[in-house]
Structure 1
Amino acid sequence: MQPHPPNPPTVTVREAVLDLLRAFGMTTIFGNPGSTELPLFLDFPSDFRYILGLQESVVVGMADGYAQATHNAAFVNLHSAAGVGHAMGNIFTAHKNRTPMVITAGQQARAILPFDPFLFSNQATELPKPYVKWSVEPARAEDVPLAIARAYYIAMQQPQGPVLVSIPADDWQRQCEPVLPRVVSQAMRPDPQVLGLIADALDQASRPAIVVGAAVDRDQAWDAVLQLAERHNAAVWVAPMSGRCSFPEDHRLFAGFLPAMREKIVALLGGHDLVFALGAPAFTYHVEGAGPHLPAGAALVQLIDDPQIAAWAPTGTSAVGSIRLGVQDLLARPVPANLAQRALPAPRQPRPRAEPSPLMSVAYVLQTLAGLRAPESIVVEEAPSARSVMHGYLPITQSGTFYTMCSGGLGHSMPAAVGVALAQPEKKVIALMGDGSSLYSIQALWSAAQLKLAITFIILKNRRYAALQEFAPTFGFQAGDTLQGTDLPEIDFTALARGQGCDAVTVSDPAQLALVLREALASPRPILVEVGVA
């Protein structure tokens, strides 16, 4: 008789998952616990930390900022169907931000699932779709660690994004075989032949323009893109709705920001004979438009990490793969002699200085902030009506120092600021918020206070949903028309902050603004500054 092989060693599912999370560098858990998640926290290990958010959307927002700032997937624990439902707005934003995130959702015990138990998730894998890269409820408890490992590898592969694993409550104590971490490639090098076509087009162009998107900074390609732009004397524009800063906004080649409107993009890019969409879609639109996607006489080339974006580009040649590796390959080519004769693009015209007024302008506030903040400080922004003003008065000049949402969905940036500050405690984090935006996730102030994070929250208080009011003429509203549901009177943000343990101050006098901001930026505790603006 053949001897039976020895039984492999076993551990609990909980132990196997915790060992995997250690190996992946994911010892911070973001969550808002429910009953079905409690078994994960039995004998909670001392080398892990649990970051509590007071609402599941806040939880995902914090994890989003943390993952982006650490360049590693964040681990999120949500509660069954209701918790995932609460979190869906920021799961959508994480999908658009391309943020790597492993989301676990509690599920009722397997033995009672046939009876539609209280608080279970029916079709748990379908609930987060289509805004996760992969979702699964393992067939057996023993398969949970393998599912967590696969989820991590998928989340980290480009284009990165969130994944979800639904885990029944009784799975955590079951026995299983340990799962060892593996090395799995995260980036794909673009096709050299297609890159060659892009390189030839760049070399032969007379007046190229580069349109950078969030993927440049996400893939840590800032320095390489700067070198490429300087080699080609190319004007550099920022793609519409980009959630990161991917080029220094004080550089001589920086041209400005493209709006999400087809006709305006074509007008701004007029005169360029080549447009290189680099880490960006070509292009993101917000309103219906007509006519060509490019100015007359211009060709389009693209380097993007998402094959879906490459597929819907309306024209041109697209290479798919890592932005950083692709640009490095472009830089490795010999420098043509004709580039030395290529003229520099015309310099960008500076905005006029903003002057103080009894009710301060957003431009004056941001100009004052720009003069006080350190260039290496990190701005996390969600003030849609102020964004165009920010582009002129609050330049971002360093990699990894600006975050916002690529989705347009509100409620991301206040908790994301908490996550960024957790990831980079050595840097000052400034959360620049509209008053309407802040109310989607105001509970993030409590987390900041409990964690003692030195975040400066600045609320631009214009007492309305100004972005909607400014957008209304696009849909036929005339001056003086009443737009329902857009006024926000009588909200005291300092009271909301203090009620959650956060210091707060209000300022309405332009003569006091610099002093108040200087003290807030120096505060070792989280502080909210409410600024009344026109």
Structure 2
Amino acid sequence: MSTVRQTVMDLLRDCGMTTVFGNPGSTELPFLDRWPNDFRYVLGLQESTVVAMADGHARATGRAAFCSLHSAAGVGHAAGSIFTAFRNHAPLVITAGQQARSLLPLNPFLGATEAAQFPKPYVKWSVEPARAEDVPAAIAHAWHIAMQPPCGPTFVSIPMDDWAAPAAPLPPRRVGWETAPDPALLAEAATALAASQRPVLVIGPEVDATGAGPAAVALAERLRAPVLASPFSSRVSFPEGHPLFAGFLAAAPEAVTAALAPYDLVLVLGAPVFTFHVAGQYRLPPVIQMTVEGEAIAAAPTGMGILGSLRLGLPTLAALLPEATRPAPPPRALPPAPAPAGPIPAGFLFHELARARPADSIIVEEAPSHRPAIQAHLPIPDWGGFYTMASGGLGYGLPAAVGVALAQPGRRVVAVIGDGSMMYSIQALWTAVREALPVTVIVVDNAGYGAMRSFSQVLGVEHAPGIDLPGLDFPSLAAGMGCPALRVTEPGEIEPALRQAFAAPGPMLLSVAVDPAIPTLYRKS
């Protein structure tokens, strides 16, 4: 008979989870013993970083990633990134070592009390198996749940002496996770869309995540309807160079009301209705929502909800629609190119980045206070070309860029990270260096928490402490982990610095000092 460890290794091979993201401790050593040559162990220097790396890898591959954490303390360190993975719908199988079963009644050092409860409610499923021989089946169960739409993280706590216990091999299984929407509801939606005079599409990250992008483009073109990106979309919502792309919805009720007022029907694809960040009053036209996320449909304040796969449902919906004869909407008015100035305007940095970056590069962004400037001056033309976090929790972007680079070998990954965000997970640079990944890290250094500056304006708050971040030397911090770096303080230095960074075979960091003045993030229209 096989051991638990041998059976689990075979299971991980079958599931395509041979890249393991981890930060090891004593209770994981039996799992790591005699590490097999066909597995890759990606070492992160803190557990939150480990989970964010796995999250980026899972989202970029569309397959579950495997994380190995250390007991309760390690899961506690990782809790913020587990929350982000839950909001990102990233399929993860997270395991954590537990003390030996014989010690658990004695409240041992490093023992996790009620281990399966600890990461809840931000995992889809969680367990500490009752018997050692149940561990392989528990991990298989976790993988199936993680991959079921909407995807998300799962958790298995494993006592350290379980790995050597005998366990029978698992029988092979084949499971399909996608379910098609109700045909009657699709027909009703098609009738409403055909009768609409001024429809608009609001598209969220689920379209890109589920491979439904081409079908969404075909539907928009058939309707001749403008397309808006949903608030806080954590992936590309629509190719931003397409003539039907009309811009981005803000996460403010009055702004959403104003943006949707010209339309008589809103078709929301793969997004909630709607994600807000500030309070206010809103009014919506009639809404039809399609998503795999039942919670998003239940939470919608109005309209029709159609639950099911967008990849399967959108072609069916398009086939039910007549070709629209209305004139195509006018193209979106693009802002002028920012002028160079001192201090460097953030928009000028993103404009230069858009001009210089490799055509197939991937943007991973965590500079929330600069998001309006990024949306204005750094267009994303391709599906799979953009990732950010859906949770609002800082520390995701840099380790996620490492995970994306591991998932997409040969493609340049550009991590656009605010200076405040960078300090949450800067140790991920060490992993990027160790793995020799083509990651260009651009630190947008405005010497403070820009979002806090902006919200202070919105809320009328003055002289709040803890907003300024003077004295951070990112090139020196990068050099301490073996990553080459440059400091950029003048507009004319940006283009040659980008050229040098993109030519580097491995990671390189650019710290760009930008204007600390931040525009108000949320306006009424």
TM-score band (shorter)? over 0.9
Distance in 2, Cα, partners of 1:358 & 1:283? 38
Paired letter, 2:306: A
Shift of 1:474: 2.8
2:112 equivalent in structure 1: 121
1:259 equivalent in structure 2: 250
- Which digits, 9 at most, give the CA deviation of each residue in 1:266-308, with x for residues without a partner? 101111000011000000011111242x1xxx21000011111
**Secondary structure in 2 matching 1:176:** coil
Is 2:493 the counterpart of 1:493?
no
Q: Which of residues 285, 290, 304 in structure 2 aligns to 1:317?
A: 304
1:210 equivalent in structure 2: 201
Shift of 1:246: 2.1
Is 2:316 the counterpart of 1:329?
yes
Which region of structure 1 is more displaced relative to structure 2, 194-203 or 122-131? Answer: 194-203
1:375 equivalent in structure 2: 359
Distance in 2, Cα, partners of 1:235 & 1:263? 20
1:438 equivalent in structure 2: 422
Shift of 1:200: 1.5
Is 2:15 the counterpart of 1:20?
no
The within-5 A match list for 1:450-461 is 450-461=434-445
Paired letter, 1:520: A
Shift of 1:374: 2.5
Shift of 1:43: 1.2
Paired letter, 1:450: R
Paired letter, 1:424: Q
Is 2:383 the counterpart of 1:402?
no
Gaps of 5+ in 1: 1-9
TM-score calculated relative to the size of structure 2: 0.97
Shift of 1:191: 1.0
**Secondary structure in 1 matching 2:287:** strand
2:328 equivalent in structure 1: 344
**Secondary structure in 1 matching 2:51:** helix
Is 2:483 the counterpart of 1:502?
yes
Paired letter, 2:184: Q
For the 8 Å contact 1:149–1:181, the answer to whether it is kept is no
Paired letter, 1:448: A
- Which digits, 9 at most, give the CA deviation of each residue in 1:204-235, with x for residues without a partner? 11111100001000001111101110110111
**Secondary structure in 1 matching 2:116:** coil
- Which digits, 9 at most, give the CA deviation of each residue in 1:374-430, with x for residues without a partner? 232100000011111000000000010100001101111100000000111111100
For the 8 Å contact 1:216–1:278, the answer to whether it is kept is yes
Gaps of 5+ in 2: 516-525
2:54 equivalent in structure 1: 63
**Secondary structure in 2 matching 1:11:** coil
Distance in 2, Cα, partners of 1:203 & 1:373? 41
2:178 equivalent in structure 1: 187
TM-score calculated relative to the size of structure 1: 0.95
2:465 equivalent in structure 1: 484
1:519 equivalent in structure 2: 500
For the 8 Å contact 2:256–2:282, the answer to whether it is kept is no
The within-5 A match list for 1:234-313 is 234-292=225-283, 294=284, 298-313=285-300
Q: Give the percent of matched residue pairs that are identical in Structure 1 and Structure 2.
A: 52
Alpha-carbon RMSD across the aligned residues, in angstroms, is 0.9
**Secondary structure in 1 matching 2:117:** coil
Paired letter, 1:431: A
Shift of 1:332: 2.8
Call closer, same or farther: CA 1:66–1:89 in 2, change over 3 Å. Answer: same
Distance in 2, Cα, partners of 1:188 & 1:207? 30
Paired letter, 1:453: L
**Secondary structure in 2 matching 1:496:** helix
Q: Which of residues 148, 166, 169 in structure 1 aligns to 2:157?
A: 166
Q: Which of residues 97, 100, 103 in structure 1 aligns to 2:94?
A: 103
Shift of 1:251: 1.2
Q: Which of residues 16, 39, 48 in structure 2 aligns to 1:48?
A: 39
Distance in 2, Cα, partners of 1:291 & 1:128? 35
